[in-house]
Amino acid sequence: MRRSVALAALLLTLATATPAAAAPPPGPAPAPLATTPIQVYGAWHCGNDYCTWGTTRTVAEFDSQNHWLIDRGDGRPAVNLVVLSFVNPLDLLRQTTNATTLDGVPRGMTPEIVGWFTAHGVRVMLSVGGITYTDAWDAALAENPTLLGQRAAAVATRLGVGIEIDYEQNTNPNLAGLQSFLDAYRAVHPYDATGARPQARLTIDVAAGDRYLIALNRKATADWLRTDTPVLDYANAMVAARPASASTSQASWQEHVDGKPQYAPPVPPLAPAKFTGGIYLAYGGKPLPECVDYATSVQRAAAPYAQSVAPNGAGTTAGMLGFMFWAAERPAVRGIGTAPPNTCERGAGAGATALAVPVPMPALRQS
């Protein structure tokens, strides 16, 4: 009897109970981060003598040591830009001629070597400076910065190349002199957003993040890398002192995007579309994944960030311009470099395929 009463009560409860509200349908999946195509995928190139470029080389010999740059394994170049490193700015100003330099330019930076790259759709630039030539930059800017800019423009015209400024003075850089250099260069080769004239491409190197080369970075970001009145095409956030992980690299690059408002005076934010991120290609005595194994490389791990980082006070589009690799062939006295058998088809080259790097380089995003 108790069971019957209990059962009847249960049935009555079920019959009269208000049905439970149906669970709401799942919300829409979060939208994936917008990804912007990589546009700059380049390498600094140190030649076979540790960034001196002091001897003239035949195209055949140069190709034997660097063929991977123009053939990632399927006939397409592994990069869309090379930056021949370095030109001594004081030699350039004085048009020095000696055993390693001809009219101010290293003897190895010849029209034939430039043409070897450009015939395959690879853009070429010359890097003026480098940390070895910091004092030379100071001396040249003190002596005649306008003439230095004019002579850099003349070399760009003669070789059909762009110019990169690598002025690594961390203490009291001569910014007024550098402004005169820029004014003189731009008087000959005005800013060209289309990128159609290689000689008009003018860039600058800044530190990996915002905590080194502060005065130079502040001036460049505030006055020369603006999206409304650009003077320079873009900046390269250089590599740190040694290879860094993707997360460490991204933290440094984010400093450029955010700026440093707490500094006095502050460093303004930089548009993501106005800089590239530096990654080691060769370092020490063992091949790096960035050269030989794209699947485990920094460029693969950092690509989602580089293609989607949002502006934070400057610029309108997400994503950095791309990556720059340090450095091809023989960047240091010690270490293996990227000459055979340590070539980079499977790392940098595979990345060019995976990231659909355009060759030749297209017109760059401006904001």
Of 6-20, 81-95, 318-332, where does mean pLDDT reach its minimum?
6-20
pTM attached to this predicted model: 0.91
Is residue 20 pLDDT above 60, yes or no? no
The chain-wide mean pLDDT, for the chain, equals 92
* Higher-scoring residue by pLDDT: 30, 150: 150
> Could you write out the DSSP letters of every residue in 38-71?
--EEEEEE-TTTTS---S---HHHHHHHHHHHH-
Taking only the tens place, the pLDDT of each residue in 193-205 is: 999 999 999 999 9
Q: How confident is the model at residue 35 (pLDDT cuts 50, 70, 90)?
A: confident
3-state secondary structure of 271: coil
Domain range summary for the chain, segments of one domain joined by +: 36-354
Average pLDDT for 280-303: 97
Is residue 29 pLDDT above 80, yes or no? no
**d(C-alpha 274, C-alpha 305), whole Å:** 15
Taking only the tens place, the pLDDT of each residue in 203-248 is: 999 999 999 999 999 999 999 999 999 999 999 999 999 999 999 9
**d(C-alpha 104, C-alpha 53), whole Å:** 12
CATH architecture of 36-354: Alpha-Beta Barrel (3.20)
* Higher-scoring residue by pLDDT: 17, 172: 172
Q: What percent of the chain has pLDDT over 90?
A: 90
Q: HSE on the CB side for 26, CA within 13 Å?
A: 3
Write the CB contacts of 362 (distance below 8 Å, at least 6 apart in sequence). 39, 195
